[in-house]
């Protein structure tokens, strides 16, 4: 990578470290079912239903992020992840798992699932992070805002609403969070590389670990 990219990765990662304390679960006001039908940690980490931003041709390296679309640290990490995705493209499988912690978190995650149903997961994923400052930290879930995003993306709105209302959508989100808890996720964003929870201090740490996994 060029010098400027390295600097930006380091700055973004520092912002993630600075904010992540505020992104951890706050108290026990929510009961989460941590049971799972997965037979191993590997299956808990990536399920068949899990959303993928890219799929590696050789399946050698898988990068998983447990995130919350309303989380400031996840928003700070978003440009970092985009740069890393651009660097590795189809050499790394990038998987997104939901770990909702805020008022609009479940609604935002539901919007991505409904968009994925129409082949527009990545577009909704990007839209939510790029507009996070506009809809985040509100007292009420921003369901109507996300509906507006669906319209902007040209989705079939009746079909979108049907997925949003489907109990299976919330169950998928709850299963993501339950899997995360079972895997030791305590805040967002949390990253895993080939099944191992990553310990990072800078963007370069992520790049070095992916390079090592790729054998490059």
pLDDT tens string 196-213: 999 998 889 999 999 999
CB 185 within 8 A of CB 99: yes
Lowest mean pLDDT among 2-6, 91-95, 125-129, 209-213: 2-6
Q: Which CATH architecture has domain 3-25+43-214?
A: 3-Layer(aba) Sandwich (3.40)
Banded pLDDT at 151 (limits 50, 70, 90): very high
Residue-wise pLDDT for 161-199, tens only, equals 999 999 999 999 999 999 999 999 999 999 999 999 999
Residue 62 half-sphere exposure toward CB, CA atoms < 13 A: 18
Distance CA 179, CA 46 (A): 9
Cβ-Cβ contacts under 8 Å for 24 (sequence gap 6 or more): 101, 186, 187
pLDDT over 80 at 38, yes or no: no
From residue 19, alpha-carbon distances to 15, 76, 128, 129 in Å are 6, 9, 18, 16
For the chain, the domains span 3-25+43-214
Q: For position 32, what pLDDT does the model report?
A: 47
Is the predicted pLDDT of residue 154 greater than 70, yes or no? Answer: yes
């Amino acid at each position: 990578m060029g010098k400027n990219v390295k600097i930006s990765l380091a700055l973004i990662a520092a912002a993630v470290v600075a904010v992540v304390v505020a992104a951890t679960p706050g108290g026990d006001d929510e009961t989460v079912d941590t049971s799972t039908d997965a037979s191993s940690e590997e299956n808990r980490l990536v399920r068949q239903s899990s959303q993928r931003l890219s799929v590696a041709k050789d399946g050698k390296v898988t990068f998983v992020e447990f995130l919350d679309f309303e989380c400031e640290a996840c928003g700070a990490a978003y440009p970092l992840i985009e740069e890393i995705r651009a660097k590795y493209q189809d050499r790394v499988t990038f998987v997104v798992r939901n770990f909702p912690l805020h008022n609009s978190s479940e609604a935002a995650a539901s919007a991505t699932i409904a968009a994925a149903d129409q082949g527009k997961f990545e577009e909704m994923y990007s839209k939510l992070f790029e507009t996070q400052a506009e809809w985040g930290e509100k007292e009420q879930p921003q369901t109507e805002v996300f509906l507006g995003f669906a319209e902007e993306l040209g989705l079939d709105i009746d079909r979108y609403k049907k997925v949003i209302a489907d109990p299976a959508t919330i169950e998928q989100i709850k299963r993501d969070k339950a899997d995360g808890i079972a895997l030791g996720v305590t805040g967002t964003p949390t990253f895993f590389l080939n099944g191992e929870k990553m310990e990072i201090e800078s963007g370069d740490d992520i790049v070095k670990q992916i390079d090592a996994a790729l054998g490059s």
